[in-house]
Structure 1
Amino acid sequence: MNLILDIARGIAALGVFLFHISDGLHESMPAVASIFRFGSLGVPLFFVISGYVISASADAIIRKNESANAFLKRRFLRIFPPFWYSILVVLALPYLIAAISMLKSGVYEAPLPQFLALTGGEWLQLISLTKVFLADDGDLQGQFSQVNSVYWTLAIEFQFYLLVYLALLFRRHFLLIITAVTAASLVLLAYPQALNSGLFLYFWPMFALGIGLFHVIKHDCKIDRLAVSAPAVALLLGTLLSLAYLGTLTDVLGKLFPSASLGFATVCALILWFGQPIGLQLEAAKHGGYRPVRWLIKAAAFLGVISYSVYLLHGKLFELPAMVVRQLVPITSPLNALLTVFGTLTLCAVFYIYCEKPFLSKKLQKLNEKTLGD
């Protein structure tokens, strides 16, 4: 399941990335732009994957009788240090871009980024991710947009971790607590209440899908036959891509489910469930398949490994390679977009190596190495 999850993470991160640059793709790659205008739905996919992964982590904590504090420490290190480093990168970027522009024009134009308007208190709220609770109008992204709008999801993610941590403190009632919170989130979905819009409960059903997926697989309720799973995955993926290309994806999902995000999360959970036998085939092909296939699988897996770094930085960092690429390739050429994306992913990989990987647990580092190894 690890390989499938890594590939899914990579797809989610790339989807959000292409969503944020989709306006610039209309001339060079209109079909891609049409599909990835729905790329923000990568966020619900991230929440489903997180629900699965954190459930697996909590299950291991309980089986090994480890402390809840060990769980929280690992999750804190997973989220916050790379997040703080990414803030430093984002703060430096406007000045770096201005300096590079000066090399061409000979004139240094001092940038006036929006984050200069933040007060000390607002910075404290931002770096602690508590700024999400100030979104009285429901605009969670807006609370972080002066620095990097994607940070709002980290605030939701860490609230999820805290809830699991509290459940681990009372581990005899772990499943009861998770079930009760899930029920409360469904009641809130059916009967909306005037709660703070930055509260994790609004997003819990998507995490719950991942939690349910973990328990379904744990108790051997899985699809074993490739002949069954491959057509099911192809059908679901084909339907999603077709609806995205036609521009009706969110409309259709919004009619079938309480929200388009929850609908997409549900379909993704089904794809991950059906896709287990495919994951085994990909694992085998990664080791013994044709060389181009091995490279493709490893590239997809590597994108998943660095997906957090990609997610943190893509919306700001892409401006650097874009500056260079547009001097070499017309913006109307598909090569312009491809080189810009590749350049951004390369910079994100460097960030992963120096600013994210050192804070991963040794177990996760070994797991990533195994995913990418021969």
Structure 2
Amino acid sequence: MTTPGPTLPKVSPGAEHATEHGTEPTDHAIPAPRPARGKPRLRALDGLRLVAALMVAAYHYGGRDGEISEAWGSSPKVQFPTASEWFAYGCLGVQIFFVISGFVISMSGWGRPMRSFFASRASRLLPSYWAAIVLVTAVFALPAVTYAAVSPSDALVNLTMLQQPLGVDRVLGVCWTLWAELRFYALFALCVVMPGATRARVVLFCAVWTLAAAVSEAANEPLLDLVLMPEYAPFFIGGIGIYLIHRDRRDLTAWGITGVSWLIGQHYAVDRLWHAPNPDFFSYRTSFGIIAVVTAGFAAVLLIALGHLHWANWRWLTVAGALTYPFYLVHEHLGWVTVETLHQHMGLPSYATFGLTIVAMLFLAWLLNRFVEERLTPMIRNGLNRKPRAQG
């Protein structure tokens, strides 16, 4: 199966729609519940999520080598001699996803009991994820598809979302980001949701995690690295800091958390992506370009948090947010099959194939949202929120 993207040191989700102060916003990998009545939805955040997902898709289709080169019949450098250099920056959409996730998980977890927090996360992550696992496994098992499928046993383990720590082959190449998200949820749940979210507790959580992640990097201890995720921590923590600014723009501590997270985050992004370790990942990004994209991601979330993008309140952004997670899940592997069919078998030119593949994956995402998420998400959420009956 595919290798993780270049942001991996050793080794993006019908959707919930963020409300300004209400429950259940959405991160890259997750859909979100409906906003509370009378509370405006942060539709610009939905739009930013889709932009980040499209950045990742551009990277997977035209900004790296590997299996996508088999689909095109040659390297994307040949298919897109100029655009491929820009597409290569698309992998930074993942870092933008993580900043958004820090913001929206802080919002959705604030004042919420552990059972409700767990039910919300599980019910939003799992339906489209399970559907994507089944769909990609089935497509890759077709005789006409040339890409290798995982074993039946490994495919079943993938349904747990724990395939990466268990050393099992992954059905979805992008699922490594979900493993990072799950670890963030666990840390946030144990340190903030379980004891009860307060500003002081959240600030302490950010400070301790930042320092501990730095110590982990210095110690080069695999277990600490696994738990504390020093490479990704600044993006999650930066999103949390931006949420604190959203609550009170005069909170200087929150501005400090955000600023320090940006400084550390751009360092890790440049360190990991300027000269990617795997030649398939391409290695011609400039350090200035990487810093610019990371800065733009932080700035966009901050502008939304400060209310400067309230004018971007178009209803279609709600749909965009709903499609982001299923699109993110299916676009890479099924994109290989679509690109090969359109370009090599049907003879469509590169840019037409690129555009039609994006459209096809968005349509598939709409189907997953309409017929999977909208039906299963409330069922799972209600079931997990239901307290068991006392045994007499």
For normalisation by structure 2, the TM-score amounts to 0.64
Identity of paired residues, percent?
24
Shift of 1:320: 4.8
Q: Which moved more, 1:307-316 or 1:183-192?
A: 183-192
Work out which of the two has the higher radius of gyration on C-alpha atoms and give 1 or 2.
1
Letter in 2 for 1:218: R
| Distance in 2 between residues matched to 1:7 and 1:128, nearest whole Å | 29
- 2:56 aligned residue: 16
Are 1:132 and 2:168 matched, yes or no?
Answer: no
- Segments of structure 2 that go 5 or more residues without pairing to the other structure are 1-19, 21-41, 63-68, 252-273, 275-282, 382-392
Contact 2:137/2:155 (<8 A) preserved? no
Q: Structure 1's 114 and 267: CA in aligned 2 closer, same or farther, altered over 3 A? A: same
| Distance in 2 between residues matched to 1:274 and 1:132, nearest whole Å | 35
Q: Structure 1's 267 and 192: CA in aligned 2 closer, same or farther, altered over 3 A? A: farther
Shift of 1:307: 0.8
1:158-211 deviation line (CA, Å, top 9, x unaligned): 121122222211116742345423332233345543336543533222100100
Shift of 1:337: 1.8
- 2:301 aligned residue: 272
Letter in 2 for 1:303: A
Are 1:309 and 2:326 matched, yes or no?
Answer: yes
Letter in 2 for 1:207: F
Contact 1:318/1:340 (<8 A) preserved? yes
- 2:288 aligned residue: 252
Shift of 1:316: 1.7
Shift of 1:277: 5.2
Contact 1:144/1:152 (<8 A) preserved? no
1:3 to 9, 20, 43: 43
| Distance in 1 between residues matched to 2:115 and 2:162, nearest whole Å | 21
Letter in 2 for 1:81: P
| Distance in 1 between residues matched to 2:353 and 2:55, nearest whole Å | 18
| Distance in 2 between residues matched to 1:185 and 1:345, nearest whole Å | 36
Q: Structure 1's 133 and 89: CA in aligned 2 closer, same or farther, altered over 3 A? A: same
Letter in 1 for 2:326: S
Shift of 1:131: 3.2
- 2:223 aligned residue: 195
- 1:233 aligned residue: none
Shift of 1:270: 2.1
Contact 2:59/2:88 (<8 A) preserved? yes
- 1:49 aligned residue: 100
Alignment of 1:1-374 (within 5 A): 2-22=42-62, 24=72, 26-27=77-78, 29-59=80-110, 62=111, 66-96=112-142, 98=143, 101=144, 113-116=148-151, 120=153, 122-123=154-155, 125-134=157-166, 144-145=169-170, 147-166=171-190, 167-171=192-196, 174-175=201-202, 176-189=204-217, 192-195=220-223, 197-202=225-230, 203-221=232-250, 249=285, 251-252=287-288, 264-274=293-303, 276=306, 278-283=308-313, 286=314, 298=316, 301-322=318-339, 325-326=342-343, 330-360=347-377
Shift of 1:27: 4.9
| Distance in 1 between residues matched to 2:341 and 2:295, nearest whole Å | 40
Q: Which moved more, 1:348-357 or 1:206-215?
A: 348-357
| Distance in 1 between residues matched to 2:178 and 2:376, nearest whole Å | 16
Contact 2:343/2:349 (<8 A) preserved? no
| Distance in 1 between residues matched to 2:212 and 2:95, nearest whole Å | 19
| Distance in 2 between residues matched to 1:114 and 1:329, nearest whole Å | 24
| Distance in 1 between residues matched to 2:339 and 2:284, nearest whole Å | 30
Shift of 1:311: 0.9
Shift of 1:125: 4.7
| Distance in 1 between residues matched to 2:233 and 2:125, nearest whole Å | 18
1:306-340 deviation line (CA, Å, top 9, x unaligned): 11101111012224543553479634352222122
- Segments of structure 1 that go 5 or more residues without pairing to the other structure are 102-109, 136-142, 223-242, 255-259, 288-297, 365-374
Q: Structure 1's 129 and 336: CA in aligned 2 closer, same or farther, altered over 3 A? A: closer
Shift of 1:113: 2.9
Q: Structure 1's 177 and 112: CA in aligned 2 closer, same or farther, altered over 3 A? A: closer
For normalisation by structure 1, the TM-score amounts to 0.67
Letter in 2 for 1:129: M
Give the number of aligned pairs: 295
Contact 1:150/1:312 (<8 A) preserved? yes
Letter in 2 for 1:251: S
Contact 1:329/1:336 (<8 A) preserved? no
Shift of 1:124: 5.8
